[in-house]
Amino acid sequence: MIIQRKPTVTDEVLPVIDDSTENSDQNISSSDYMVAFSGNTTNYCIGLVDMVNSTKIASTIGNGKIPTYYEIFLNSMSKILSRFGGFVIKNVGDCLVYYFPESSKSNRKYGFMSCLECSLAMIEYHDTICKRLNKEGLPCVDYRISADYGSVVLMKSNNSESVDMIGPPVNMCSKINHAAMTNGAVMGETFIPWYTNLGITSLRK
């Protein structure tokens, strides 16, 4: 896989994790998993794009082509995300979790419109990605997209350079993703006031 998360300003607000510190009860070894939180909360638009039935499909295409199958999907979604100012938070198996930094500025429309337009672009790309997969002798891929807005806390572990996020919108994206139509998108209810303010009235609950 060649997906890489670009460094952002969020990388600068996290404390350095010192894994050599001694605990009062036991020594902490360098192999122990430790996390540090920024202590600050920020509101972001969080999104998730997840493959449908990927485990079943992967079992039919053979081990030799499985990496190519996932690579085409994950890298294609990542490139679309970059076009709209989004950044990958993490790759969890066959899905990407991402956010839009500009959405932290609640008085600006750009971040919220970018989230919506990115979701639509991913949906519209379905036929194209299927053609790419077919050229490689691979089956078409289906996926679902979910997004939500809210407060998250930045987190970093001692064994990774990547920044993670935890909070209600991250959990909600996972929870509501299955409610999206195949090759469609679903938005959390926290988006409704923002899109109403943008003049968008055709969203279906």
The domains located in the chain, with CATH, are 36-197 (3.30.70.1230)
Question: Residue 38 — pLDDT band, cuts 50, 70, 90?
Answer: low
Q: Is the pLDDT of residue 16 over 50?
A: no
Query: What is the reported pLDDT for 92?
Result: 85
Least confident span in 12-21, 160-169, 194-203:
12-21
Look up residue 27 and give its DSSP letter.
B
Look up residue 22 and give its DSSP letter.
B
Query: What is the reported pLDDT for 171?
Result: 93
How high is the mean pLDDT of the chain? Answer: 80
State residue 104 phi and psi, 5-degree precision: -70, -15
Task: Note the pLDDT tens digit of each residue in 80-133.
Answer: 999 999 999 988 888 999 999 988 876 667 778 899 899 999 999 999 999 999
In sign, the C-alpha dihedral spanning 86, 87, 89, 91 is positive
Q: Is the pLDDT of residue 174 over 60?
A: yes
Give the side-chain half-sphere CA count within 13 A for 86: 31
Burial class of residue 141, CB neighbours in 10 A (0-12, 13-18, 19+): buried
User: Residues 190, 149: contact at Cβ < 8 Å?
Assistant: yes
